[in-house]
């Protein structure tokens, strides 16, 4: 099943309720929630209070992407604020296994993510313990960046690795994805597409419909 996960980072925050309604009504299943601490990535976004207020107004899967150092410190807070799925960066964790276990303990699904320069092999030890893998196709920290073409080989490598192990783990790709390049990301093996600018810059409803029309061809 292919899933659209609009990244809220690019939403119009003075119209956030309407923005979320628009993506929900036109086929998105996830809301991608980019948490940034200004240390692991050179930017600061939003945190638990924003997630808590959004949670009460949507049935979308709250897909929380923690771009923060030592995420184990905040797993419980984000779970309590309404996260359904929490993704952590291997590069940000002292103890990846302990962090994965903490997410499970809090009742959330588990995602692990690698930055563009981190090899796919770094995820190998954790594949049996996670629900989703997030391949970053831009350097984390900002929306509106250009898709890094080498990401396609990383996605294909990840898909091969999971297929060889017979693991049904979702592959999410995040950064620089638009209607003009999403098909190559899907063909490489991704099934969850994060898109911020492509969805929220301009007409959210129309952008969502156009992106969903493409994703539906790869169900
Ligand atoms: C970047 C975030 C991405 C970003 C995607 O650090 O993880 O989710 O918001 O935005 P676009 O789709 O505009 O590249
Ligand atoms: Zn993200």
Catalytic residue selected from 37, 77, 174, 203: 174
Q: Is the CB of 144 under 6 A from ligand 1?
A: yes
Query: Rounded to 5, what percent of the chain is helix, strand, coil?
Result: 45, 20, 35
Pocket-testing residue among 4, 196, 200, 208, ligand 1, by greatest number of atoms within 8 A of Cβ:
196
The angle subtended at Cα 17 by Cα 194 and Cα 3, nearest 5°, is 25
Residues 204, 156: Cα–Cα separation, whole Å: 30
> Per residue of the chain (219 residues), what is the pLDDT tens digit?
899 999 999 999 999 999 999 999 999 999 999 999 999 999 999 999 999 999 999 999 999 999 999 999 999 999 999 999 999 999 999 999 999 999 999 999 999 999 999 999 999 999 999 999 999 999 999 999 999 999 999 999 999 999 999 999 999 999 999 999 999 999 999 999 999 999 999 999 999 999 999 999 998
pLDDT in tens, 36-63: 999 999 999 999 999 999 999 999 999 9
Is 174 a residue of the active site? yes
In sequence order, the 6+-apart residues with CB closer than 8 A to the CB of 51 are 33, 62, 64, 78, 81, 82, 83
| Distance from C-alpha of 219 to C-alpha of 208, rounded to nearest angstrom | 16
Closest ligand by atom to 4 CA: 1
CA of 166 to the centre of ligand 2 (A): 26
Ligand 2 center from residue 91 Cα (angstroms): 15
pLDDT digits (tens, 9 = 90+) for 143-161: 999 999 999 999 999 999 9
Residues with Cβ < 8 Å from 177, sequence gap 6 or more? Answer: 137, 147, 185, 193, 194, 195, 198
């Amino acid at each position: 099943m292919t899933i659209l996960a609009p990244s809220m980072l690019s939403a119009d925050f003075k119209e956030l309720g309407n923005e979320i309604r628009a993506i929900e009504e036109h086929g998105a299943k996830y809301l991608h929630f980019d948490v940034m601490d200004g240390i692991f990535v050179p930017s600061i976004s939003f945190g638990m209070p924003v997630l808590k207020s959004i949670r009460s107004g949507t049935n979308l899967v709250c897909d929380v992407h923690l771009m923060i150092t030592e995420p184990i410190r905040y797993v419980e807070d984000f779970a309590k604020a309404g996260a359904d799925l929490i993704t952590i960066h291997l590069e940000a964790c002292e103890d990846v296994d302990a962090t994965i276990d903490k997410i499970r303990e809090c009742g959330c699904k588990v995602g692990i993510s690698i930055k563009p320069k981190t090899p796919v092999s770094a995820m190998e030890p954790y594949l049996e313990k996670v629900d989703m893998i997030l391949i970053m196709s831009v350097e984390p920290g900002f929306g509106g960046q250009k898709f890094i073409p080498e990401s396609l080989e990383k996605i294909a490598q990840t898909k091969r690795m999971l297929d060889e192990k017979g693991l049904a783990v979702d592959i999410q790709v995040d950064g620089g994805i638009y209607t003009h390049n999403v098909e190559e990301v899907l063909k490489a093996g991704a099934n969850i597409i994060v898109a911020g600018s492509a969805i929220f810059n301009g007409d959210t409803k129309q952008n969502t419909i156009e992106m969903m029309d493409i994703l539906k061809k790869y169900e």
